[in-house]
Chains A and B, each alone.
Chain A
Amino acid sequence: QKEVEQDPGPLSVPEGAIVSLNCTYSNSAFQYFMWYRQYSRKGPELLMYTYSSGNKEDGRFTAQVDKSSKYISLFIRDSQPSDSATYLCATISQGNLIFGKGTKLSVKP
């Protein structure tokens, strides 16, 4: 079992929709969880970072960690075409940053 699993999509939504992106992880000891956004032909950029469980909100983005089910989510409200990108979840395992394979999101005008 991979340490972080993520549905690769692709996911296509209309502008203004609420988007839910999800990952599961294997080890209950993981504490740090990150979401990165990667535009085509660019490197990933850190969107949000949470420690342990709970929610964290930043503008239209909300990151949620459910440690009981080992599930992490990123919600995007009022999605915009500029949100079209690949979203990667990540955590730290044995000192290494471990990424999901990414979900490709397309927001249609």
Chain B
Amino acid sequence: ETGVTQTPRHLVMGMTNKKSLKCEQHLGHNAMYWYKQSAKKPLELMFVYNFKEQTENNSVPSRFSPECPNSSHLFLHLHTLQPEDSALYLCASSQLGTSGGPGGTDTQYFGPGTRLTVL
């Protein structure tokens, strides 16, 4: 148990459906992330929210729409997905260093992921 929960754990959807993935962190962190992991590919960073502000959109198609209403919750809204979007979607959170100085990258805590299948 990492303190990051994701729902649902499994999702099957058609290409015309609209669904949302939910992530919640109970760690008091100030940054949250969405990653995509396709079969036998590296983790791909999709979105970063730092203090609820989106600071990174890694060229993700508009059919993926993130929402971060507060520092504890993160959503990924999905619509008109393609079969190639089938993957494991992982949420993570971290407490970004605020000292302003250098230091090790802040540890990211990952949720268990949502296994998405697009038919």
Tell me whether A and B are bound partners. Answer: no
